[in-house]
Amino acid sequence: MLLLTDIGNTNITIALYGKSGVEQTLRLSTPAGEADAQEYTSILRSRFGSYLKQPLSGAVICSVVPQVTAAIKTCIRECFAIESIEVNAALKTGLVFQITAPHLLGSDRIATATGARSLYDGNLIILDFGTATTICALTAMGMYTGGAIMPGIGMSAASLQQGTAQLPAVDLSRPFTVPGKDTSENIRAGILLGQAGAVEKISSRIKSGMRGDTRIIMTGGHCGLMKEILSVDVVTPNLIFEGMKVIYELNS
């Protein structure tokens, strides 16, 4: 059993990964400032302590929030007496990074790309709908050739509300028509279809530079919303944890 921790800008998701894949998850809000290791230690012991029938074999942390990483590492050490592997481009991943500065690539993108490469053959385009929306390109030979980043759908909705005097907060999960019949429908249509259109345009440009068939994969916290309006080859919500599992196996 592995303990896998994804520290994102909005949420911290902690998963227990066993023989059948992800077996238990815990989602917490990412703190705005420094994290309290003792608080997370208490939470982990109460949530996972009774579930684990045998010691964990290892732990992996994928973090894009450095000020929280140390607290989570301390928490895991105190709870389970193991040291965590932190995802970065210097680890063994099975990928070759053909980008300018691999050490600056987000660990979440490294993990999802590793997971995608382990599950699927051929050229791959990975769409990750999280706090930010990211697009990553992988060749059939495992070359990570780059991608794109844009504000995520939640961030886009928040920016409209916070940056204007009269536009409201909206529930993006509610249905809408095009053209929208009220302000909320206008916002939902603009954000969701705008994301879909941008992603399709970028993916098409990437795909045109690849030789051979290319598979498009969707993942991330907002993929449940986007899969209803964006056509892709496969949706894999837990792709980041699949990648973290592979990284543990290659580096433990």
> Residue written as tokens 């990964």?
17
Q: Which residues are catalytic?
A: 108
Pairing of the two strands 2-7 and 11-18: antiparallel
User: Which comes out higher in pLDDT, residue 243 or 24?
Assistant: 243
Q: What is the mean pLDDT of the chain?
A: 93
pLDDT in tens, 43-81: 888 877 666 667 789 999 999 999 999 999 998 998 888
Question: Do 2-86 and 96-239 come out as alike in CATH topology?
Answer: yes
- CATH architecture of the domain formed by 2-86: 2-Layer Sandwich (3.30)
Eight-state DSSP code of residue 93: -
Asked whether the beta carbons of 218 and 120 are under 8 A apart, the reply is no
Residue 34 has pLDDT above 80, yes or no: no
Query: What's the angle, vertex CA 135, arms to CA 131 and CA 137, rounded to 5?
Result: 150
User: Helix, strand or coil for residue 145?
Assistant: strand
Asked whether the beta carbons of 132 and 108 are under 8 A apart, the reply is no
* Terminal-residue alpha carbon distance, the chain: 13
The one-letter amino acid at 37: A
Pairing of the two strands 123-129 and 96-97: unpaired
Record the tokens describing residue 189, joined without a space: 């249509």
Say which residues have a Cβ less than 8 Å from residue 173's Cβ, sequence separation at least 6. 225
> Residue written as tokens 């301390």?
74
Cite the DSSP H helix spans in the chain: 37-48, 66-80, 107-119, 153-163, 183-208, 223-226, 239-251
Phi-psi sector, 39: left (phi>0), alpha (psi -120 to 50), beta: alpha
Instruction: Give the CATH fold of the 96-239 domain.
Output: Nucleotidyltransferase; domain 5 (3.30.420)
pLDDT in tens, 98-128: 999 999 999 999 999 999 999 999 999 999 9
pLDDT band of residue 185 (cuts 50, 70, 90) is very high
Q: In the chain, what are the domain boundaries?
A: 2-86, 96-239
> Residue written as tokens 């907060």?
169
Asked whether the beta carbons of 216 and 224 are under 8 A apart, the reply is no
Record the tokens describing residue 55, joined without a space: 């010691």
Torsion of CA 241, 243, 247, 248, to 10 degrees: 30
